[in-house]
């Protein structure tokens, strides 16, 4: 006997959880996660920074909307999810000039040195600063979405990998672990596994590619001041930021991978430590912990959000790449509008192709992608 829902969300990372919280109380929803714990994969492995100047135009719009939505909720939370932390790019003149527009303004070498005194002065010639950037308490945001979802009646099932999905009458039937589900809409929030989930559902892939990215928390002789921005190389070869008395560092690698529980490659962090010890006065002494996650991208780098044009009731919520947290609430709002607009029009939510209530985020995304099949 299958349990029956309006919407089954597959994937319990930030994408699936933020949509579950946006839909809670508005229709019947189950969220199904393969792992025993929520947010086990990429959503537990981010650098926890939201950067308005980062990414293509649609991502930047979604980031601004996400910041608005999270800030509004922060007003009612005892502990805020967001805290101000600027984002600074350093590099040569040409590389910085290319990116220092819009939300990022060029700053002088002296200003950059003042903001991050740990930089070796001749390690860069130009800098840009995004003061609208925020640190994100990712565990708190994830937990808040889980709590709001459950309070709104969403059933969250962990340790249940979806192994089969097929169209049945006007909806879908899914098998997950030992359980069965029926739903009018299936949401594919399966991260690095999103194309695999499409294939097992008989839906054409959208050619998503997971890319590895590693980060580590390191001990340093000279901790960064609390006011220090997150610092990234304009050529995308590293970034670092303060993490209490330690420092988070990343080699910013972008290496293709299959969907898997990614782990650091030996030597990657050690090579970065040697480099950062020449570019900064941090004096990195050792690695506390290191991890790797998968940033899953479509070919054009824009998240894949919307009903599949061919497979009725199959909704994509994938390809968030390196922007999954900074776009999460904006994308969830947009996705919930689309799913609920479909539900209003017919007994089956899956009919919608156009955006529901016009919103800035919908327009931003519509400009670059609406039809999931290009």
Q: Which is nearer to ligand FAD, 110 or 177 (CB)?
A: 177
Q: How far is the CB of 351 from ligand FAD (least distance, A)?
A: 25
Residues that bind ligand FAD (CB under 6 A): 10-16, 32-35, 39-43, 45-49, 161-162, 189-193, 197, 213, 215, 250, 293, 295, 320-326
Residue 123 CA to its chain's centroid (Å): 30
Residues found in the chain: 374
CB nearer to ligand FAD: pick between 78 and 338 = 338
Q: Which residues contact 143 (CB under 8 A, 6 or more apart)?
A: none
Positive or negative CA dihedral for 244, 91, 133, 190?
negative
Is there a contact between 273 and 185 (Cβ–Cβ < 8 Å)? no
Report, in Å, the least distance between residue 73 CB and ligand FAD: 17
Least gap, CB of 6 to ligand FAD (angstroms): 18
Structure-block tokens of residue 343 = 């539900």
Instruction: Give the Cβ contact number of residue 279 at 10 Å.
Output: 18
In the complex, the smallest distance separating the C-beta of residue 92 from ligand FAD, rounded to whole angstroms, is 24
Nearest-approach distance from CB 138 to ligand FAD, in angstroms: 8
Q: Contact at 8 Å (CB) between 14 and 142?
A: yes
Nearer to ligand FAD, 301 or 351 (CB): 301
Which residue is listed with tokens 């937990």?
Answer: 143
Nearer of residues 125 and 182 to ligand FAD, judged by Cβ = 182
Minimal distance in Å, beta carbon 327 to ligand FAD?
7
Task: Name the DSSP class of 272.
Answer: H
Nearer to ligand FAD, 68 or 125 (CB): 68
Cα dihedral 94/107/242/279 (nearest 10)? 50
Pairing of the two strands 239-243 and 230-233: antiparallel
> By the 8 A CB rule, do 107 and 116 touch?
no
3-state secondary structure of 146: helix
Q: Which residue is nearest to ligand FAD (CB)?
A: 324
Whole-number CA gyration radius for the chain: 21
**What minimum distance in Å lies between the beta carbon of 122 and ligand FAD?**
28
Cβ 346 to ligand FAD shortest distance, Å? 27
Whole-number minimum distance, CB 181 to ligand FAD, in Å?
11
Pick from 153, 150, 179: which is nearest to 165 by CA?
179
Q: Which is nearer to ligand FAD, 56 or 117 (CB)?
A: 56
CB nearer ligand FAD, residue 186 or residue 340: 186
CA angle 328, 152, 359 (to 5 degrees): 40
Q: What are phi and psi of 40, to 5 degrees?
A: -85, -35
Cα–Cα distance measured from residue 315 to residue 282, given in angstroms and rounded to the nearest whole number: 46
- Contact in structure between 22 and 335 (CB atoms under 8 Å): yes
**Looking at beta carbons only, is 92 or 261 nearer to ligand FAD?**
261
Least CB distance to ligand FAD at residue 345 (A)? 27
Nearer to ligand FAD, 96 or 135 (CB): 135
Of 189 and 345, CB closest to ligand FAD: 189
């Amino acid at each position: 006997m299958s349990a029956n829902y309006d919407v089954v969300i597959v994937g319990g990372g930030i994408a699936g959880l933020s949509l579950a919280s946006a839909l809670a109380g508005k229709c019947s929803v189950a969220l199904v996660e393969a792992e025993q714990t929520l947010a086990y994969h990429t959503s537990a492995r981010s650098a926890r920074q939201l950067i308005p100047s980062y990414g293509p135009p649609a991502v930047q719009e979604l980031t601004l909307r996400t910041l608005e939505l999270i800030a509004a909720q922060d007003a009612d939370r005892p502990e805020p999810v967001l805290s101000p932390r600027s984002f600074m790019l350093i590099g040569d003149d040409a590389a910085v000039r290319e990116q220092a527009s819009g939300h990022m303004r060029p700053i002088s070498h002296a200003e950059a040195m003042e903001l991050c005194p740990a930089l070796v002065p001749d390690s860069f010639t130009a800098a840009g600063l995004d003061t609208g950037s925020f640190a994100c308490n990712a565990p708190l945001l994830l937990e808040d979405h889980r709590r709001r979802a459950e309070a709104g009646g969403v059933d969250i099932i962990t340790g249940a990998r979806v192994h089969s999905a097929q169209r049945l009458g006007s909806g879908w039937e899914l098998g997950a672990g030992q359980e069965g589900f029926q739903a009018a809409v299936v949401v594919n929030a399966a991260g690095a596994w999103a194309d695999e989930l499409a294939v097992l559902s008989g839906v054409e892939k959208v050619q998503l590619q997971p890319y590895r990215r590693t980060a580590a928390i390191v001990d340093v002789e000279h901790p960064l001041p609390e006011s220090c921005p997150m610092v990234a190389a304009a050529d995308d070869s590293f970034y670092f930021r303060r993490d209490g008395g330690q420092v988070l560092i990343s080699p910013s690698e972008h290496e293709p991978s299959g969907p898997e529980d990614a782990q650091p490659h030996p030597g990657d962090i050690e090579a970065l430590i040697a480099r950062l010890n020449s570019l900064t006065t941090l004096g990195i002494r050792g690695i506390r912990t290191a991890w790797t996650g998968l940033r899953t991208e479509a070919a054009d780098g824009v998240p894949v959000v919307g009903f599949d044009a061919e497979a009725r009731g199959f909704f994509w919520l994938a390809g968030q790449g390196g922007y999954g947290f900074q776009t999460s609430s904006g994308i969830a709002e947009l996705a919930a509008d689309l799913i609920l607009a479909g539900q209003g029009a017919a007994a089956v939510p899956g009919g919608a192709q156009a955006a529901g209530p016009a919103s800035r985020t919908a327009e931003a995304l519509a400009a670059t992608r609406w039809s999931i099949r290009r």
